[in-house]
A = this chain, B = another copy of it.
Amino acid sequence: MQQRNDPPLRSDAQRNRERILEVALAELTRSADAPLSSIAKKAGVGQGTFYRHFPNRESLVLEVYRHEVQQVSDTACQLLKTRTPDEALREWMDRLAQYAMAKAGLADAMRKATSAHGSLAGLGHGPVTSAVELLLKANEEAGTIRPGVTPDDFVLAIAGLWQIDPHGDWHTRAGRLLDLVMDGLRAGAPGA
């Protein structure tokens, strides 16, 4: 799932890899089906080099997406310190929505490149799952949501975020969806 860290990369290889990821982020955000060949060219590496690092489109997109999503995941812990559990949960979802809109091109690339699972689901057990787990547990202990909701449930429930058109009034549509999800989570909570 990750690059095996057994043999540390040679310094030039390391730089090439980073340059590719850097260019890929920009290009894929701009257009979801940017040619891999153009990414290789703009990164200043040969075709063969590109394929040494990323044997297929999915592996590249996954790596870029993982890195971007991690930034949002990391904020969960911070939010829990400054707000009540349910405020933190909702705020985190809002940030996730905002992020999903900003990186719509990338998310699109993600949907097209991965096989069966869209957006967050393709990342597997990673920082996203950990962040969600943290938020859910805090709320469960505070009695603000029903017990027994898994990170998987949550990710499925907010999947609609990635179907919202980033143009137009995405804020309204996202808000309505997240309100509905929050109500669903609250149903059957001890604190009621």
Contact = CB atoms under 8 A, between A and B. Distances in A.
Residue from the set A111, A155, A156, A184 with the largest chain B CB neighbour count within 10 Å: A156
A9 interface: no
Bin chain A's interface residue count. Answer: 35 or more
Contact of A181 (B119, B176, B184, B186): B184
Contact of A118 (B152, B155, B156, B162): B162
A54 B176 CA distance: 36
Contact of A180 (B104, B108, B112, B157): B157
Pairs A-B, 10 closest by C-beta atoms? A184-B184, A156-B160, A183-B187, A159-B160, A180-B184, A159-B159, A183-B184, A156-B177, A112-B112, A121-B163
A150 B51 CA distance: 46
